[in-house]
Structure 1
């Protein structure tokens, strides 16, 4: 893409006067850094992704409220983690975490176990224990 062709579409970045660095070819055929205020297709994808994430968080909150899953699921979604990432943070196997997602199992977890989750979510054990959706 040529330097003058770098998109300058309005985006969530441009509202805060933040620009994104792109690389483009200048008039001499060399790659150079060019600021971009946004690109409409990218903005559409980002907005749709954020909407999906918000829906997943809301669903997890409702599932906790309805007693279908433990608060671990909500905080995992809220922090945009998946099981692989959470397993890396806690050191637990995924099959073990799946058990911890069950409300009855969650209620029996020790504070030591809950501390690993709380640390991963940057909250206290009490916040994790007392979250009701």
Structure 2
């Protein structure tokens, strides 16, 4: 793509005052970098991904409030993590983290383990134990 053909479509990046760095060919046929404010197909895909994430967060929140899962699952979704990533951040095996999703197990966790989760999610212990305290 030539330097003057780099898309400059409206996107979420533009409203946040960000530009995406793209490679293009300049007048001399050499590769160079060009800032782009967005590209419609990429914006559509990004918006769909964000919608999916927000939906998973809402489902997890409802599951926590109906005592089907622990707040750990909600915060994992809210922070766009999956089980392997969360397990690596808290330094526990995946099966243990998954077990902590069970409300009866979560309610028996020590403050040391809960603190690991709270630090990972950058929240207080009180917010971890009660998602309604989270400013979301």
Partner of 1:10: 10
Partner of 1:115: 115
Q: How many residues align?
A: 133
**Runs ≥4 residues deviating over 6 A:** none
Q: Structure 2 vs 1, CA of residues 34 and 58 (structure 1 numbering), >3 Å: closer, same or farther? A: same
With normalisation by structure 1, the TM-score equals 0.94
- The gaps in structure 2 that reach 5 residues or longer are none
By relative contact order (CA 8 Å, sep 6+), the higher-ranking structure is 1
For 1:132 and 1:71, the matched residues in 2 are separated by 10
Partner of 2:89: 89
TM-superposed deviation, 1:118: 0.7
Q: Deviations over 1:30-54 (max 9, x none)?
A: 1111121210000000100000000
Q: CA RMSD in A?
A: 1.4
For 2:79 and 2:3, the matched residues in 1 are separated by 37
- The gaps in structure 1 that reach 5 residues or longer are none
With normalisation by structure 2, the TM-score equals 0.92
